[in-house]
Structure 1
Amino acid sequence: MTSIPSTTATPSGRPLPAQVKTPAHFQPEIQGLRALAVLVVLLYHFWPDRLTGGYVGVDVFFVISGYLITAHLFKEAVKTGGVRLGQFWARRIRRLLPLSLLVLLLTAISAVLILPSTAWQATLRQIIASTLYVQNWVLAADAVEYSKADERATAVQHFWTLSVEEQFYVLWPVLLALTLMFLAFRQRRSGAPALGHAQIRVAFLWVVGLLGAFSLIFSIYYTAAAPAQAYFVTPTRIWEFTLGAIAALVLGSRQFTGKWGNVLGWVGFLMILGSAIMYTDATPFPGWTALVPTLGTVLVLSCGGREPVTGIHWWLSLRPATAIGDWSYAIYLWHWPVVIFSPYISEAARFWYVKVLLILGIIALSALSTRFFETPIRRAKILLPTWRTMVAAGAGMALVIVSGIAAVSTMQTSSEDSTITADHPCYGYRALANIGECGDAFAGELGLWPSPAVVAEQYQEGAFPGCQADNEDPAVQECWLGAEESDADGTIAVFGDSHATMWLPALDEIAQEQDKQLLVLTRSACTPRGGEVGDDSSECLQANAEIMEQVSEDESVHTVVVAASQMHGEFGGPSRDLGLDESDYDLDDSALAMYEPIVTWLEAEKEVVVFGESPRMSNDEDSEETLPECVALNEDDPSACNETREDTQVGDRWLTRSAEVFEDAENYHFVPTEDLVCLEDTCYATIGGAITYSDNSHLAEDFVRSMIPEISDRMEPALSAQG
């Protein structure tokens, strides 16, 4: 295995023979490696179930960036003794911002024309974050927010990788410049001669090595501790850039060739391709598993042969590969909006041959935008002064943000033309309860209020922010609503998951009317149940056990409301014998565990109010469409979003079935909920101008408020029994 300087390429794109030792200015195989990276990302996004690990292409890009940028900065440091930060950033801006801002601007305009109104605000929010290059941190924050866990990807979500790169481009030269300043100061203090080539290399390697080691350790730890956030945050990715940086500093312009060098190059190629094929969304990433594609990238950068057919660098230097590499940045920018928008434009977008045509179109658009937009602006002499580049960048970013805000505001104003409000006597459930006076509750003649976009946003914000504990929060979290403590006569407790939280707008009003405090003890994704509690029990089960005991012993709590989703996981049985006839009611362990709190509080002589599970709309496993989104796409005919009652009954519905089990219990009260949304065999997307759901299973806040008199009537036996 021999080490030689990297070669240049002929005008045709074919590499020069390996034995020609020319100075390194351009490595054509890097463009081929970029082509591989962008193609696996492209195929992954179009066929996520086929190339399940195609996301590793992003990591290949990170290594390449670290390699090229560090090589450039090192060369400048050796030549000038420092790093000219302004010039460096200006070059990066001229290279990256023009096309990215163009894509963001056109995406902002296209989003309000193509996407349903429910997606406009989320898209605008992420367009602003992408323009400011903080998109990765926004996604990391959203990844742990329960209400946004199922939020659909926006058309600019892929900009998170560019945000990570830009943050690296800010951090890296500053860190190296400070290193050079420190070393130069120390040299002057000691009277030693100016820094030499070898000293700078060693210093940079120490900085790179330490930063990369800390980042890798943190990445492994954080990927295990908080995988959703770890995927996006910059500290878990820095080490990938440093791998490329180390390769650039150690190798310089040399590469390992010969038989074994070529073998190692092919091994690196297979490491990238193998991880793209073998990895899945379940692979812990970017912890230690990211070492496979990133080390593979280092091998391809540093090792390979240029012999025709057998040489890995020969293949990567062929004109088709280098052309795709030249357009790879544009391909990456354009492809994701196409993936997001195309299904809204035509249902045919799901067919493989249409996807192939879309990919060809993306490549053609990328070639044109690179040739006629990106390259001319990057080379424009008017932008060569650093200050002009900075001013132009600021103006462009401001244009994108202002245009996005204006587009969304204009379209939202034109779409909000409803003549009905929450105070209307025939609004929401009131129209269903008074069909004789209100006429057809489902005709939608008075329009919709609030708009689908507002309904979707209300779900994410919540009527009472902070009143629901996260699933993994330790201990019991209390939230107090209803009447003021000084005026209250007793307490109503609310126990359950997010499907209990959704009733709070009504329960809060009812508690105030009854001069009761409302104690909220809800937890996201935590089915209200009992069970054996041990040291390894989940936070959910431990909190539930504590709540059962706390409510039982609290004499001020006269009434307990229990509500939950009809969809839940499997879990063990109760912690004790409940005295229920399991065979008569066909009860399994999950049912008995869910009935343990009910039995416990009945024994404690509490009034127990059990809400039946609400219907679940749009339960098609292949669809990510929420009910507000469906209504936004079918505002002229919301009935297209209705469901049959049978299709909305998709879980065990043990709470609904509890009405039969506890039929004879004096202080048990069941509140049916299906008939609040469904009439005969149909469950409705809109009733009385109100959208019924904020997603597919949680009732919308304003629709719940319209039910307050009805819910109060159904709870009256329990409330009057409080004495």
Structure 2
Amino acid sequence: MTSISSAEATPSGRPLPAAGGAPTRFQPEIQGLRALAVLVVLLYHFWPDRLTGGYVGVDVFFVISGYLITAHLFKEAVKTGGVRLGQFWARRIRRLLPLSLLVLLLTAISAVLILPSTAWQATLRQIIASTLYVQNWILAADAVEYSKADERATAVQHFWTLSVEEQFYVLWPVLLALTLMFLAFRQRRSGAPGLERAQIRAAFLWVVGLLGAFSLLFSIYYTAAAPAQAYFVTPTRIWEFTLGAIAALVLGSRQFSGRGGNLLGWAGFLMIVGAAFFYTDTTPFPGWTALLPTVGTVLVLACGGREPMTGVHWWLSLRPATAIGDWSYAIYLWHWPVVIFSPYISDAARFWYVKVLLILGIIGLSALSTRFFESPIRRAKILLPTWRTMVAAGTGMVLVIVSGIAAVSVMQTSTADSTLTQDHPCYGYRALANPDECGDPFEGELGLWPSPAVVAEQYQEEAFPGCQADEDADGVPECWLGAEETESDGTIAVFGDSHATMWLPALDEIAQEQDKRLLVLTRSGCTPRGGEVDEDSSDCLRANAEIIDQVSADDGIDTVIVAASQMHGGLGGPSRDLGLDEGDSGLDDSARAMYEPIVAWLEADKEVVVFGEVPRMSNDEQEEETLPECVALNESDLSACHERLEDTRVGDRWLTRSAEVFADEENYHFVATEDLVCREDTCYAVLGGAITYSDNSHLARTFVQSTIPELTDRMEPALAGSS
């Protein structure tokens, strides 16, 4: 294996650069490497079940960016002794912003024409975040927010990678400029002559190496501790850029050639491809597992031969590869909106041959937009002054944001239905309860209120912020609703997961009508259950144990409401013998764990109200489409969004079955919920102009409020017993 200058390996006849210098010429294999990166991302997004690890193409781009940008900054530092930040950023803006802003602008307009209204606000929010290059932080925040954890991807979600890169482009030159300033200050203090190349390279390597090491360690830690956030946040990705930076500083224009170097280059290539094929969505990423594709990228950058047929760099330098590399930025920008929009345009988008046609169209569009839009603007002399570039960038960003807001606002106004309100006597459940007065509650002519978009937001925007504890919150956070303490006559406690929180808009009003305080003890993703608590117990179980004891001992709490989802994981058994009848021996550990709070509060002479589990819509197909989205797409035929009752019963439904177990308990009260949205064998998407669900399992806030009179009647025995 020999080390040669990359310039020597070309027929250009250029002289060899100084050892360890920055790359001094165009390296075509880098374009081929970009082509590999964008193709694995492209194929992954069209066939995620086939190329399960195609997301590693993003990491290849990060390493290449670190390599090229650091090489450029090092060359400038050696030549001028500093880094011209304004000029650097202006070049990056002219290269990246024009096409990205065009894609964002067209996506904003297309979204309101193609997507259901339920997707408009989320898309607009992420378009704004993408325009400001903070998309990765928005996605990181959403990834741990319970109401948004399962939110469908928007047409601009892929801009998170560009946000990471732009943040790197802002911070990296500043860091290196500060390093140069420190070196220059130290030189002047010592009276030494100007900075030498070796001094600059050594200083840069120390800074890059330390930053990369800390970032890698943090990435490994944070990927294990908070994988959803770790995937998006910038600190877990910095080390990938520094790998490329170290390669640029150590090798410069030199590459390892010969048989050994070519084998290493092919090994790096196979490391990237292997990760793309064998990694999956369950692979912890981007921690230590990201070393495989990123180190592979460094090997391809540093090693390879150009011999026809056998040289890895020969293959990566072929015109088809370099052409795809030239268009790779545009391909990345255009492909994801096509992936998101195409299923809404035609059901045929799921067929492989249609996907192939779409990919070819994306490549063609990318070639044209690169040739006739991106390149001319990048080279436009009118933008060469730095200040003009900055003004143009700011103007373009404002244009995109304003256009997106205007498009969504106009479309929402045009689709709003102001003829129906929540006070209508046949609104929501009231249409089902009063067929003589309201007629057919399913196919009435009331229209829809609120719109599907507003209903979808109800789940994401809590009716009572802070009343539901996070799954990993410490202790037992309390939230008080209902009547004022000075005017109250007793307390009702609400215990459960988000399906208990779902009922708060109704329970709050009921509590006020009954002059009761409402103590909310709900926790997202936490099944209301008991169990043995030890040092390995979850925060959920620890909090539940505290709640059981706290409510049992509080004489001021006379009524407890328990509600939960049908879906829960396997639960351990209860912490004690519940004394249930032998006839109930068929109950498993999960059932007994869920019945432990009920038994404890019955023993404490509380009125215990158990809400049955609500139907779960669209669960049989495990669709991503939510019920409001289905309604938005099928307003002319709402029956397309109805479900068979038997298909909505998907879990053990132990709360519903508790009605039999505790039938003889005087203080036990069961409140059925299925018949609030279902009749006979059908569960309905819309009743009395009200969309019934805000997703597929949580009832919409406005629909819940329409059930208040009915819930009051069903809870009356418990409320009377607590008076």
Q: If the length of structure 1 is used for normalisation, what is the TM-score? A: 0.98
Q: Which residue of 1 aligns with 2:71?
A: 71
Q: Does the alignment pair 1:137 with 2:154?
A: no
Q: Could you tell me whether the CA contact under 8 Å between 1:5 and 1:24 is conserved in 2?
A: no
Q: How does 1:24-173 map to 2 (within 5 A)?
A: 24-173=24-173
- For structure 1, which runs of at least 5 residues remain unmatched after alignment? 10-14
Q: Which residue of 2 aligns with 1:271?
A: 271
**What is the Cα deviation at residue 30 of structure 1?**
0.2
Q: Which residue of 2 aligns with 1:220?
A: 220
Aligned with 1:255: secondary structure?
Answer: strand
1:306-334 Cα distance to aligned partner (Å, 9 max, x none): 11111110110011110000000000000
Q: Which residue of 2 aligns with 1:391?
A: 391
Q: Which residue of 2 aligns with 1:326?
A: 326
1:606-633 Cα distance to aligned partner (Å, 9 max, x none): 0000000001111144420000000011
Q: Which residue of 1 aligns with 2:546?
A: 546
Return the letter of the residue paired with 1:428: G
Q: Which residue of 2 aligns with 1:407?
A: 407
Q: Could you tell me whether the CA contact under 8 Å between 1:119 and 1:154 is conserved in 2?
A: yes
1:339-360 Cα distance to aligned partner (Å, 9 max, x none): 0001101111111111111111
Q: Could you tell me whether the CA contact under 8 Å between 2:463 and 2:505 is conserved in 1?
A: yes
Q: How does 1:336-485 map to 2 (within 5 A)?
A: 336-485=336-485
The range that moved more, 384-393 or 617-626, is: 617-626
Q: Could you tell me whether the CA contact under 8 Å between 1:8 and 1:25 is conserved in 2?
A: no
Q: Could you tell me whether the CA contact under 8 Å between 1:418 and 1:448 is conserved in 2?
A: no
Q: Does the alignment pair 1:680 with 2:680?
A: yes
Q: Could you tell me whether the CA contact under 8 Å between 1:418 and 1:446 is conserved in 2?
A: no
In the alignment, the residues of structure 2 paired with residue 18 and residue 510 of structure 1 have an alpha-carbon distance, to the nearest angstrom, of 86
Return the letter of the residue paired with 2:475: A
Q: Could you tell me whether the CA contact under 8 Å between 1:18 and 1:306 is conserved in 2?
A: no
Return the letter of the residue paired with 2:265: G
**What is the Cα deviation at residue 20 of structure 1?**
8.9
Q: Which residue of 2 aligns with 1:660?
A: 660
Q: Which residue of 1 aligns with 2:236?
A: 236
Aligned with 1:534: secondary structure?
Answer: coil
In the alignment, the residues of structure 2 paired with residue 21 and residue 193 of structure 1 have an alpha-carbon distance, to the nearest angstrom, of 27
Q: Which residue of 1 aligns with 2:641?
A: 641
The range that moved more, 181-190 or 28-37, is: 181-190
Return the letter of the residue paired with 1:663: A
1:246-298 Cα distance to aligned partner (Å, 9 max, x none): 00000011000001101110111111111111111111111111111101100
1:113-139 Cα distance to aligned partner (Å, 9 max, x none): 000000000000000000000000000
Structure 1 residues 133 and 19 mapped into 2: Cα distance closer, same or farther (>3 Å)?
closer
1:346-397 Cα distance to aligned partner (Å, 9 max, x none): 1111111111111111111101100111001101111111111111101100
In the alignment, the residues of structure 2 paired with residue 584 and residue 536 of structure 1 have an alpha-carbon distance, to the nearest angstrom, of 30
In the alignment, the residues of structure 2 paired with residue 405 and residue 361 of structure 1 have an alpha-carbon distance, to the nearest angstrom, of 29
Structure 1 residues 290 and 578 mapped into 2: Cα distance closer, same or farther (>3 Å)?
same
In the alignment, the residues of structure 1 paired with residue 710 and residue 270 of structure 2 have an alpha-carbon distance, to the nearest angstrom, of 64
Q: Could you tell me whether the CA contact under 8 Å between 1:223 and 1:285 is conserved in 2?
A: yes
In the alignment, the residues of structure 2 paired with residue 185 and residue 582 of structure 1 have an alpha-carbon distance, to the nearest angstrom, of 85
**What is the Cα deviation at residue 189 of structure 1?**
1.8
Aligned with 1:427: secondary structure?
Answer: coil
In the alignment, the residues of structure 2 paired with residue 53 and residue 26 of structure 1 have an alpha-carbon distance, to the nearest angstrom, of 30
In the alignment, the residues of structure 1 paired with residue 347 and residue 590 of structure 2 have an alpha-carbon distance, to the nearest angstrom, of 40
- For structure 2, which runs of at least 5 residues remain unmatched after alignment? 18-22
Aligned length: 718
Q: Which residue of 2 aligns with 1:513?
A: 513
Q: Does the alignment pair 1:190 with 2:193?
A: no
Structure 1 residues 18 and 244 mapped into 2: Cα distance closer, same or farther (>3 Å)?
farther
In the alignment, the residues of structure 2 paired with residue 153 and residue 437 of structure 1 have an alpha-carbon distance, to the nearest angstrom, of 43
In the alignment, the residues of structure 2 paired with residue 25 and residue 488 of structure 1 have an alpha-carbon distance, to the nearest angstrom, of 80
Q: Could you tell me whether the CA contact under 8 Å between 1:418 and 1:447 is conserved in 2?
A: no
Q: Which residue of 1 aligns with 2:500?
A: 500
In the alignment, the residues of structure 2 paired with residue 618 and residue 418 of structure 1 have an alpha-carbon distance, to the nearest angstrom, of 29
Q: Which residue of 2 aligns with 1:283?
A: 283
In the alignment, the residues of structure 2 paired with residue 588 and residue 699 of structure 1 have an alpha-carbon distance, to the nearest angstrom, of 28
Q: CA RMSD in A?
A: 1.4
Aligned with 1:525: secondary structure?
Answer: coil
Q: Which residue of 2 aligns with 1:601?
A: 601
In the alignment, the residues of structure 2 paired with residue 415 and residue 264 of structure 1 have an alpha-carbon distance, to the nearest angstrom, of 60
In the alignment, the residues of structure 2 paired with residue 294 and residue 622 of structure 1 have an alpha-carbon distance, to the nearest angstrom, of 35
In the alignment, the residues of structure 2 paired with residue 444 and residue 234 of structure 1 have an alpha-carbon distance, to the nearest angstrom, of 51
Q: Does the alignment pair 1:254 with 2:254?
A: yes
In the alignment, the residues of structure 1 paired with residue 681 and residue 549 of structure 2 have an alpha-carbon distance, to the nearest angstrom, of 41
Return the letter of the residue paired with 1:174: V
Return the letter of the residue paired with 1:553: A
Q: Which residue of 2 aligns with 1:174?
A: 174
Q: Does the alignment pair 1:531 with 2:531?
A: yes
Return the letter of the residue paired with 2:615: P
Aligned with 1:157: secondary structure?
Answer: coil
In the alignment, the residues of structure 2 paired with residue 171 and residue 664 of structure 1 have an alpha-carbon distance, to the nearest angstrom, of 69
In the alignment, the residues of structure 2 paired with residue 383 and residue 413 of structure 1 have an alpha-carbon distance, to the nearest angstrom, of 39
Q: Which residue of 2 aligns with 1:12?
A: none
**What is the Cα deviation at residue 531 of structure 1?**
1.1
Q: Which residue of 1 aligns with 2:573?
A: 573
Return the letter of the residue paired with 2:228: A
**What is the Cα deviation at residue 581 of structure 1?**
3.1
In the alignment, the residues of structure 2 paired with residue 239 and residue 135 of structure 1 have an alpha-carbon distance, to the nearest angstrom, of 20
Return the letter of the residue paired with 2:205: L
Aligned with 1:546: secondary structure?
Answer: helix
Q: Could you tell me whether the CA contact under 8 Å between 1:562 and 1:611 is conserved in 2?
A: yes
The range that moved more, 574-583 or 204-213, is: 574-583
In the alignment, the residues of structure 2 paired with residue 487 and residue 315 of structure 1 have an alpha-carbon distance, to the nearest angstrom, of 81
Q: Could you tell me whether the CA contact under 8 Å between 1:582 and 1:588 is conserved in 2?
A: no
In the alignment, the residues of structure 2 paired with residue 37 and residue 166 of structure 1 have an alpha-carbon distance, to the nearest angstrom, of 18
In the alignment, the residues of structure 2 paired with residue 205 and residue 578 of structure 1 have an alpha-carbon distance, to the nearest angstrom, of 66
Aligned with 1:577: secondary structure?
Answer: coil
**What is the Cα deviation at residue 399 of structure 1?**
0.5
Q: Could you tell me whether the CA contact under 8 Å between 2:490 and 2:517 is conserved in 1?
A: yes
Aligned with 1:486: secondary structure?
Answer: helix
**What is the Cα deviation at residue 584 of structure 1?**
4.4
Q: Which residue of 2 aligns with 1:586?
A: 586
**What is the Cα deviation at residue 8 of structure 1?**
8.1
Aligned with 1:628: secondary structure?
Answer: helix
Q: Which residue of 2 aligns with 1:718?
A: 718
**What is the Cα deviation at residue 418 of structure 1?**
4.0
Structure 1 residues 18 and 646 mapped into 2: Cα distance closer, same or farther (>3 Å)?
farther
In the alignment, the residues of structure 1 paired with residue 157 and residue 279 of structure 2 have an alpha-carbon distance, to the nearest angstrom, of 21
1:36-95 Cα distance to aligned partner (Å, 9 max, x none): 000110111111111111111000000000000000000001111110111100000000
Q: Could you tell me whether the CA contact under 8 Å between 1:495 and 1:560 is conserved in 2?
A: yes
Q: Could you tell me whether the CA contact under 8 Å between 2:584 and 2:661 is conserved in 1?
A: no
In the alignment, the residues of structure 1 paired with residue 474 and residue 621 of structure 2 have an alpha-carbon distance, to the nearest angstrom, of 32
Aligned with 2:559: secondary structure?
Answer: strand
Return the letter of the residue paired with 2:676: L
In the alignment, the residues of structure 2 paired with residue 703 and residue 622 of structure 1 have an alpha-carbon distance, to the nearest angstrom, of 24
Q: Could you tell me whether the CA contact under 8 Å between 2:7 and 2:14 is conserved in 1?
A: no
Q: Which residue of 1 aligns with 2:20?
A: none
Q: Could you tell me whether the CA contact under 8 Å between 1:18 and 1:305 is conserved in 2?
A: no
Aligned with 1:670: secondary structure?
Answer: strand
Return the letter of the residue paired with 2:487: D
